[in-house]
Amino acid sequence: MKPVVLVPGGEGDSDFIYASGFSVETGLYIRFADGDDVLVTSPLEIDRARAQGKARTTLDLEAAGFEDSGPYVSWARLAAKLLRERGLETARVSPRLHAAYLEELRAAGLEVEVDRELFRAERRQKSAQEARSIESAQRAAEAAVTEVVSQLAQADIKDGVLWLEDRPLTSERLYARAQLLLGEKGFTCPDMIVAGSPECAMPHFRGEGPIRAGGPVIIDIFPSSRASHYHGDLTRTVVVGDIPDEIRRMHAAVLQALDAGIESIREGAAGRDVHHRVCRVLVDRGYGTTTKGYEGADGGARMNHSTGHGVGLDVHEDPALRGPAENPLQEGDVVTVEPGLYLLGLGGVRIEDTGMVTRDGFKNFTALTRSLDPRDYLQ
């Protein structure tokens, strides 16, 4: 087995964190075939690396023999040096490695293979500790969603817009409240979605400006722990004021699809089949999807994304719950189930739970109500 060479693409490089147990902007990690491994970082980070990293050997730049030859070149030459000290001329790298590092590793005379399967299988099956970290992140997500909804529930309606504390209640204010709460708990989610209507018909619209009454608000929060780096992922949709009949119907259909998807998850089930089960429910309720064979009715609300994805050090990772790949689920996979319906000019409804695939079902890490009514989140 060829040794693995990792150079982080930034402080959040999940493969580097997974292998080394350490998050750093610049450094080098090598895992040798005999199980030995080496982590190299700067004097600035060496004490933290020794305290937090899990490599057998941790070296600062001087001890490793680092020579500053400019960006990319220096780390590539150091990797080649450490490999050759063991008589090695070959290595595997992650497909996430910056192309410049790949070029410089090869320029240093190494035979380098881009291993597209690197860590994929082992990262999919979560250990008990990883599962606990994700559950902890999911609790933080629930607290943040509840904080956002509590602000919505307290708001007054003036000329169709929500007001709180004598000023309009905006996506930005709600984002700030959620981020503050997450920060106090040791989590962060800089790209969370707090989107009002009708813009929330665009599933990944982050949200901006005043929140309107009588339309759906999609709250999608996927915090990562500043300590473990593992994520949770949670989405709820609420309406302040009179709930339009069509939004009620969309919500009921999405909720039924969510339950159907969860019920179909177990070890060995195909991710494609879970997705198709969700699509079938939506089509049977009179809606459409962008999945071939489940297009449904034209002109109405439709789902234009997959049913779910894996969650871990990345908020989106293997496995995917979508077609056309069969993609059998494995015990220990942690996945989201997040059907949604969207209609331009009206808005969207999405509900998302996260949990673990078990031998005979789905252990849901999510306990928060799925209600459209903000008041139900405060009980």
Q: Please return the burial class of 188, using the count of CB atoms within 10 Å of its CB with bins 0-12, 13-18 and 19+.
A: middle
Per-residue pLDDT tens digits for 190-213:
999 999 999 999 999 999 999 999
Per-residue pLDDT tens digits for 137-162:
999 999 999 999 999 999 999 999 99
Sign of CA dihedral 192, 133, 236, 204: positive
Residues 216 and 197: their CA atoms lie apart, in Å, by 6
Region of 40 (left: φ > 0; alpha: ψ -120 to 50; beta: rest) is beta
pTM of the complete model: 0.95
DSSP for 238-276, please give it. EESSSPPHHHHHHHHHHHHHHHHHHHT--TT-BHHHHHH
Provide φ and ψ at 162, rounded to 5°.
Answer: -80, 135
Provide φ and ψ at 224, rounded to 5°.
Answer: -115, 145
Query: Any idea where the domains of the chain sit in the sequence?
Result: 4-118, 125-378
Q: State the pLDDT at residue 90.
A: 97
Residues 178 and 287: their CA atoms lie apart, in Å, by 32
In a structure prediction context, what are the per-residue pLDDT tens digits for the chain, which is 379 residues long?
A: 899 999 998 888 999 999 999 999 999 999 998 889 999 999 999 999 999 999 999 999 999 999 999 889 999 999 999 999 999 999 999 999 999 999 999 999 999 999 999 999 999 999 999 999 999 999 999 999 999 999 999 999 999 999 999 999 999 999 999 999 999 999 999 999 999 999 999 999 999 999 999 999 999 999 999 999 999 999 999 999 999 999 999 999 999 999 999 999 999 999 999 999 999 999 999 999 999 999 998 889 999 999 999 999 999 999 999 976 677 999 999 999 999 999 999 999 999 999 999 999 999 999 999 999 999 999 8
Class of domain 4-118: alpha beta
Hey, what CATH topology would domain 125-378 get? Creatine Amidinohydrolase (3.90.230)
Q: Does this chain's domain 4-118 share its CATH topology with 125-378?
A: no
